[in-house]
Amino acid sequence: MADERLVHVIDDDETVRDSLAVLLSSVGIPSRVYASADLFLSACPDLKSGCVIADVRLPGKSGLELLADLTQLGRTVSVILITGHADVPLAVQAMKQGADDFIVKPLDGELLIAAVRAGLSKVHDHDEQEAERADAVKRLAHLSPREREVLDGLVLGKPNKVIAFELNISPRTVEIYRANVMQKVQVASLSKLIRLTLLATGRAQ
């Protein structure tokens, strides 16, 4: 089962763990359950994506401490915290620390499923963007220093004549470099070339 679709349920109450696993299974979402944050971290040391549902109050490491650990490790995981206490300051703190949602028990099944789906969708989108960015960086790595200089000028919107003047080459040579760049990075238009460059540098929207 793919990590990006897997939901990790962490709660020291076995009844809650089992009921959440059944709820998720009823809508086709796979899950694994853990009695503590420490057991979860031991079982999933290299977790890269997916969704975590964790009780705020756990034996050992708390849900908030787990959230902080996941954030510090830079893991792309959606985190939904649940609690048996309607504590507004705690909810605000959790959201500021990066929790995707904060849900009070008794849990509303539809609300929880909606939160899980939103979290999984966010993680999936992020993973796709990272894969595209990595591909763009890889493509641009094949360019020569001069080709990269011409590309930088194009991305800044400079006309061929300006790029040629700044690089002390002819406008025709700029055109040749531009064609070579497009062929190397495998794009068919200037707009796609610019988007690829912005994506590689983290500036694409």
Average predicted confidence (pLDDT) for the chain: 86
For residue 29, what is the domain's CATH number?
3.40.50.2300
Domain-embedded: residue 205: no
Look at strands 78-83 and 31-34 and give their pairing.
Answer: unpaired
| Residue reference for tokens 């979290």 | 119
Which residue range is the domain that position 162 belongs to? 142-200
Q: 191 or 177: whose pLDDT is higher? A: 177
Domain-embedded: residue 180: yes
My answer on whether 111 and 158 are in the same domain is no
Q: What is the per-residue pLDDT for 65?
A: 94
My answer on whether 96 and 22 are in the same domain is yes
> How is residue 169 written in tokens?
């080459």
Boundary of a domain, candidates 75, 94, 128: 128
My answer on whether 28 and 122 are in the same domain is yes
My answer on whether 160 and 113 are in the same domain is no
Domain-embedded: residue 134: no
How many structural domains are present in the chain?
A: 2
pLDDT digits (tens, 9 = 90+) for 10-33: 999 999 999 999 999 999 999 999
My answer on whether 57 and 157 are in the same domain is no
My answer on whether 87 and 8 are in the same domain is yes
Q: What is the per-residue pLDDT for 90?
A: 80
My answer on whether 79 and 153 are in the same domain is no
pLDDT digits (tens, 9 = 90+) for 134-171: 888 898 998 999 999 999 988 888 888 999 999 999 99
My answer on whether 150 and 58 are in the same domain is no
